[in-house]
Structure 1
Amino acid sequence: MKPAKNSFFSRYGRYVTLGVTVAAFAGLVTFLHWRHEQHDARVSPALNGVASQMRNDASAWTHQEKDASEMLRDIREQDVTAIGVSPNAILVSTRDGAKYFVTDHNATFSNALLLGDIKADVRSPYQLAWLPDANIRTGTSRWIDAFDKTHDAISLLLPLLLIGGLIWLMRREMTAGAKLLDRAPALCFDDVIGAEEAKAALSDIQAYLTNPKQFTDMGVRAPCGILMVGGPGVGKTRLAQALAGECGANFISITGSYFSAKYYGVGIQKVKHLFDLARKNAPTVIFIDEADGLAKRTDTGSGPVEAESNRIINQLLAEMDGFASNEGVIIVAATNHPDNLDEALRRPGRFDRTVHVRLPDLEDRAKIFRFYAGKLTSKSDDIDFNQLARLTTGLSPATLAMVVNQAGLVARKVGDDEVASKHFVEAIKIARIGDVSGAERALNEGERTRIAVHEAGHGLVAAVLGTGVLEEVTILPRGGALGVALITKTQDKHLYRETEMRDEIQVLLGGRNAELLAFSEASSGAAQDLQEASRISLDMVSKFGFNVDGNLFSLAALPAQYAGLQMKTSIAHANILLKDLNEACYALLRDNEPVLRAIAEQLLESETVPGATVYRLIEEHKAKKDGLHLAQKPAAA
């Protein structure tokens, strides 16, 4: 029992000790507080007058700042009535009513000089006021305080701004670019020249959007989408604008790159937003320009870019032909590279129809020239639009529009007020060949002569074989060519016979053979001609069955990795064909050598020879040969 008794008394002793300690500490605090009050009562009498005002409102002392030396001088001269001490400044009032402050960081100066004990028998000449609540910001401390407050505000607002900005950017990414046109284009189908197949397909969509009941009553489903395929500048975007102008439906225009995004997952949200917007505003036409920007799905998925692209395509496929109803939503897409689209996009139920937008034919090109030329100040009576159409075979409507504008620039450059036929011809040369380069200044006389013979050979062979209409032959350098024989077709060609292709190769070889005939050797100027002639001859023997040994197998049927192994035989056959045509071309030029030299001489004299002059020289030479032949017959008899 003794240990328990000792334990009890031990705990009791600790409690008593703790209570005595607390009581002693409380008594000490009370005593110190009393002594402080007694000391304040003895040292600092009750404040009145200026000192009382200073304690209540210290703002009047913050307008003027003085140096500590001036304050000490005022104290020594007993010119001070009150001094207020704050944590960072000393406030001073003088007998003449002046009020100023002295900067005192951390109260260092006041503690050292002013707050010492005052002797009991010495009466202070001024009142001393302690101002613990006065926070006087002076000089740089004001800027420091403002900076601290600004820093605190920024520290609070910056995270909120970052979060808000991120949310705004993501919402902007999800909706950017996909919006309804405020006003439908004024264009209609009649304003689009040519492209009849595409206009017929789009007319079905226009009829469905205008009067869907005529389809539903017959149980006919309108096409979900139309894919327009064609080269650059053939008018795919213009056709989509005409569709929007015709049907009066809501219209959304985007590009294939619209679905790509900086943030992972945003592309899928863009697809959803696009179709939600279209369904809410049906009937709606969604036009996707450059649709090949969607690319294809890949099987590798090796990186986040490929995975995101696959997810976007999958979402687009689901939106186009999923469970959600797309009634009143039509998709029209345009692309230059249909092979780059995912195969699932091109199946029926998504893009139901694939429409090829082709280059304009001869008649359409003439209409396009008339349409754009009507916007210029031109001599319409002087312009042969059919000739211009012949000169622009293979050019797109966008290029033709550029040619018309270029004709205006040419007219302005030479100082004419109206655009004439010669300006259009020059603009066509610039578009097809290039502008006059001025390279003739660097050519010596021997090179000019060789170029004249070379171009004369091209023009002469083309005129004799009738491969097209020889418009002119020139040795004025244009673009990268040192001379040009301008040959046009009387009509657009889609199929070429073997004879026509053989004649084309002879025209290409005409320049080189003319050099051989005139100078007994060729030059490097025929490099491009040989390259094109080799390409055509290789296609003839490897794809078209125009082979000397009757071989009809086409290398195009073989995969690329195997076709190369069989190319050696085709190259050998193509070389045989080139040699035969080269000999025929040389013989043709030798029979017309006087004409060749006459054309070359006129080129050296005037730099440009019209095609009519070449035809006249050929006829004169032919007549001369026939006359000589007739004159020699009796002598032979």
Structure 2
Amino acid sequence: MKPGKNSLRKKRVRQIACAIGAVLVATVLAFNLPGQRPKSDGAALTGLASQMRHDPTAWTHDEKDASQMLRDIRDADVAAIGVSPSAILVSRRDGSKYFVTDHNATFSHALLLGEPKADQAAAPYQLVWLPDADIRSGGARWIEVFDQVRDAISVLLPLLLIGGMVWFMRREMRGGASLLSRAPTLRFDDVIGAGEAKAALADIRGYLSDPKQFTAMGVRAPCGILMVGGPGVGKTRLAQALAGECGASFISITGSYFSAKYYGVGIQKVKHLFELARKNAPTVIFIDEADGLAKRTDTGGGPVEAESNRIINQLLAEMDGFASNEGVIIVAATNHPDNLDEALRRPGRFDRTVQVRLPDREDRARIFRFYAEKLKSRAADIDYDQLARLTTGLSPATVAMVVNQAGLVARKAGDTQIAAKHFMEAIKIARIGDVSGAERALSEDERNRIAVHEAGHGLVAALLGTGTLEEVTILPRGGALGVALITKQQDKHLYRETEIRNEIQVLLGGRNAEILSFAEASSGAASDLQEASRISLDMVSKFGFNSDGDLFSLAALPSQYAGLQMKGAIEQANVLLKELNELCYGLLHAYEPVLRAIADELLEQETVPGETVYRLIREHKSTLKIVHEPAAA
């Protein structure tokens, strides 16, 4: 290449660099040195430059990249250049117009090193500063919005995270414990039964209603009440009635309320609970399923056990009166009082235990009447005393379920009112189970065996008077292929040895009936044998009902030692079972015609009322009397 051409090329490069440098300097001054921006008066501008200043919209229709602008500058094809904060406007000599996006002056800063020297030629175009022009493409606007949002998020996100964590921790510390919007309106008279529990809660009602009558005498009211009873006996309703009797505020939580994901939050929950209760005293704090608090451990098993210990310790401290608990009563309910920590049950904490027992027959009748009145039923057709007798041992919650089940049975049958037959079916469903379709899979031989088996249960129960035989059926219910429904005339809490022996004979009646009729038993007696074995083992190992007069109870031994003595108890229980089995077989043999008659009725009708069984027994006894009288003569 010749030297002359090289010097010409260098000169052209210097001119281009000069032009670019001028653009860059103007851009930098525009963004960074607003006080030293190019002074350009609108009146002094003419032609394209004046149009750029007053109306730059003509340049916004065509966008090109920076390389095109550089080529135009290099070819001296540029008439005017306008520099704005977001773009560079270019007017060619041929009249065409376009703009180049210069987002955040990125292009200008990148080419700033190409600033021309003082001895270089001036640019052959007019340079215009456009401070108010907003020339951006749609994409550039979205990029700017995105950048602004990103910057805002980068600032706000840490604040939101910190604020959210603080809010979440404060919510966890509160744990959802809150007062009822209104004090409970329930009263003791609205709770059917539980007379013993109501009497035990009378002192608490008096303390919350008028604590001065206690403090004036120097008497300290109980701090905590522990209600013990099976599920569904009405512990929650009694706690609400206690609050309603004295117009106290009511807070209801569970034992698991104090559990938390974060270390130390459980302790704050305890503090918040008692602060809320003291602020709104008089207050009844009801802790359902209190055994969820578990016990303190000293094994040091890990952070979970340590946190549980800290929670119980804090609860003990709050109940012990480090702060004034006047007007605050804690009522805890549990099915397993042995699972509570021993320190919770000492005087000064849960220092009064209230037993909430199952309702008796009269109370069950009242509960049936209470729930049945809410339904569309034939009141004259329903014998509530009979329903109560058929539901011995059922809790109030189960009775309420039976009443509702009666409505479902009536709806299924297409009846518009609930009658006694619907209640009877509902009781069978609750006690035994619903009727299943298993009878379709039974062979004729199996039906015969089931009929004889259930007839044996029912006959022995009727002869020994272990209860009232309501009916015998071979319709499968629940997991049973047949049922002899036997109810008690009244609730019993103590059983004599004779009564328990009779119960075992009833259990063995089905197996002995099969042996009497078919000369062998079947596997259908497995559950009967299991229950009879359990009862007989309790008789000889716990109740002292054994033939050798041994009164020692294996229940007094620790579990690791009781197993060593179990062999002798099992042998005694087996001797007792054999004795009762022989008595049961002899009883059935004496009434074999009645057994066959009941079984035949079952095969024909599938269900035999208890009245029929009692009638057959009476007829058989009268026949025996007639036969024996001539023989005696």
Q: Same fold (TM over 0.5)?
A: yes
1:132-151 equivalences under 5 Å are 136-151=135-150
CA deviations on 1:193-218 (whole Å, 9 max, x unpaired) are 11112111222211111122222232
CA distance in 1, matches of 2:56, 2:563: 96
CA distance in 2, matches of 1:58, 1:568: 110
CA deviations on 1:257-276 (whole Å, 9 max, x unpaired) are 11111110011111111111
- Name the counterpart of 1:570: 569
CA distance in 2, matches of 1:386, 1:264: 55
The 3 A distance-change label for structure 1 pair 122 and 169 is closer
Task: Work out whether residues 89 and 107 of structure 1, in 8 Å CA contact, stay in contact via their aligned partners in 2.
Answer: no
- Name the counterpart of 1:177: 176
Task: Work out whether residues 54 and 84 of structure 1, in 8 Å CA contact, stay in contact via their aligned partners in 2.
Answer: no
- Name the counterpart of 2:260: 261
- Name the counterpart of 2:5: none
- Unmatched segments (≥5 aa) in structure 1: 1-31
Specify the code of the residue in structure 2 equivalent to 1:427. Answer: A
Among 59, 64, 70, the alignment partner of 2:61 is 64
1:385-404 equivalences under 5 Å are 385-404=384-403
> Cα distance, 1:182 vs. partner?
1.4
Specify the code of the residue in structure 2 equivalent to 1:84. Answer: G
> Cα distance, 1:632 vs. partner?
2.9
- Name the counterpart of 1:507: 506
Q: Which moved more, 1:217-226 or 1:354-363?
A: 217-226
Specify the code of the residue in structure 2 equivalent to 1:203. Answer: A
Q: Which moved more, 1:415-424 or 1:198-207?
A: 198-207
> Cα distance, 1:140 vs. partner?
3.2
> Cα distance, 1:596 vs. partner?
0.7
The 3 A distance-change label for structure 1 pair 184 and 53 is farther
The 3 A distance-change label for structure 1 pair 276 and 593 is same
CA distance in 2, matches of 1:557, 1:489: 31
CA distance in 1, matches of 2:229, 2:216: 34
Specify the code of the residue in structure 2 equivalent to 1:430. Answer: I
CA distance in 2, matches of 1:528, 1:96: 107
1:187-202 equivalences under 5 Å are 187-202=186-201
> Cα distance, 1:552 vs. partner?
0.6
- Name the counterpart of 2:235: 236
CA distance in 1, matches of 2:56, 2:593: 113
When the two chains are superposed, the root-mean-square deviation of aligned CA atoms in Å is 3.4
CA deviations on 1:432-474 (whole Å, 9 max, x unpaired) are 1111111101111111111111100100000011100000000
**2:291 paired with 1:289:** no
**2:582 paired with 1:583:** yes
**2:335 paired with 1:359:** no
- Name the counterpart of 2:465: 466
CA distance in 2, matches of 1:48, 1:98: 19
CA deviations on 1:333-386 (whole Å, 9 max, x unpaired) are 111110111111111111121001001111111111011111111111111111
Task: Work out whether residues 184 and 250 of structure 2, in 8 Å CA contact, stay in contact via their aligned partners in 1.
Answer: no
Q: Secondary structure of the residue that 1:352 maps to in structure 2? A: strand
> Cα distance, 1:65 vs. partner?
3.4
CA distance in 2, matches of 1:45, 1:404: 95
- Name the counterpart of 1:211: 210
- Name the counterpart of 2:29: none
**2:485 paired with 1:486:** yes
Task: Work out whether residues 61 and 91 of structure 1, in 8 Å CA contact, stay in contact via their aligned partners in 2.
Answer: no
Q: Secondary structure of the residue that 2:252 maps to in structure 1? A: strand
Number of aligned residue pairs: 593
CA deviations on 1:162-203 (whole Å, 9 max, x unpaired) are 111111111001112222211012211101011112111222
- Name the counterpart of 1:276: 275
> Cα distance, 1:241 vs. partner?
1.1
TM-score by length of 1: 0.86
**2:381 paired with 1:373:** no
1:465-614 equivalences under 5 Å are 465-614=464-613
CA distance in 2, matches of 1:564, 1:500: 28
The 3 A distance-change label for structure 1 pair 574 and 61 is farther
CA distance in 2, matches of 1:271, 1:245: 24
- Name the counterpart of 1:48: 45
CA distance in 2, matches of 1:282, 1:323: 17
Specify the code of the residue in structure 2 equivalent to 1:400. Answer: V
CA distance in 2, matches of 1:307, 1:425: 53
CA distance in 2, matches of 1:55, 1:186: 81
The 3 A distance-change label for structure 1 pair 280 and 627 is same
- Name the counterpart of 1:83: 81
TM-score by length of 2: 0.86
The 3 A distance-change label for structure 1 pair 251 and 55 is same
The 3 A distance-change label for structure 1 pair 63 and 586 is farther
CA distance in 2, matches of 1:188, 1:534: 46
Task: Work out whether residues 53 and 130 of structure 2, in 8 Å CA contact, stay in contact via their aligned partners in 1.
Answer: no
Task: Work out whether residues 287 and 331 of structure 1, in 8 Å CA contact, stay in contact via their aligned partners in 2.
Answer: yes
CA distance in 2, matches of 1:379, 1:189: 29
Task: Work out whether residues 51 and 128 of structure 1, in 8 Å CA contact, stay in contact via their aligned partners in 2.
Answer: no
> Cα distance, 1:107 vs. partner?
4.6
CA distance in 2, matches of 1:440, 1:496: 36
**2:92 paired with 1:101:** no
Specify the code of the residue in structure 2 equivalent to 1:49. Answer: T
Task: Work out whether residues 181 and 251 of structure 1, in 8 Å CA contact, stay in contact via their aligned partners in 2.
Answer: yes
Task: Work out whether residues 87 and 107 of structure 1, in 8 Å CA contact, stay in contact via their aligned partners in 2.
Answer: no
> Cα distance, 1:91 vs. partner?
1.7
Task: Work out whether residues 251 and 286 of structure 1, in 8 Å CA contact, stay in contact via their aligned partners in 2.
Answer: yes
Task: Work out whether residues 61 and 92 of structure 1, in 8 Å CA contact, stay in contact via their aligned partners in 2.
Answer: no
CA distance in 1, matches of 2:526, 2:158: 67
The 3 A distance-change label for structure 1 pair 568 and 148 is same
> Cα distance, 1:396 vs. partner?
0.4
> Cα distance, 1:134 vs. partner?
7.2
Specify the code of the residue in structure 2 equivalent to 1:530. Answer: L
- Name the counterpart of 2:299: 300
> Cα distance, 1:143 vs. partner?
2.9
CA distance in 2, matches of 1:586, 1:631: 27
CA distance in 1, matches of 2:535, 2:429: 26
Q: Secondary structure of the residue that 1:297 maps to in structure 2? A: coil
Specify the code of the residue in structure 2 equivalent to 1:216. Answer: T
Task: Work out whether residues 189 and 242 of structure 1, in 8 Å CA contact, stay in contact via their aligned partners in 2.
Answer: yes
**2:623 paired with 1:627:** no
> Cα distance, 1:85 vs. partner?
5.0
CA deviations on 1:197-253 (whole Å, 9 max, x unpaired) are 211122221111112222223222211111100010000001111112111112211
Task: Work out whether residues 240 and 250 of structure 2, in 8 Å CA contact, stay in contact via their aligned partners in 1.
Answer: no
The 3 A distance-change label for structure 1 pair 123 and 412 is closer
CA deviations on 1:105-148 (whole Å, 9 max, x unpaired) are 8559x98xxx999xx99996x63446699785434333333322
CA distance in 1, matches of 2:428, 2:578: 32
Specify the code of the residue in structure 2 equivalent to 1:461. Answer: V
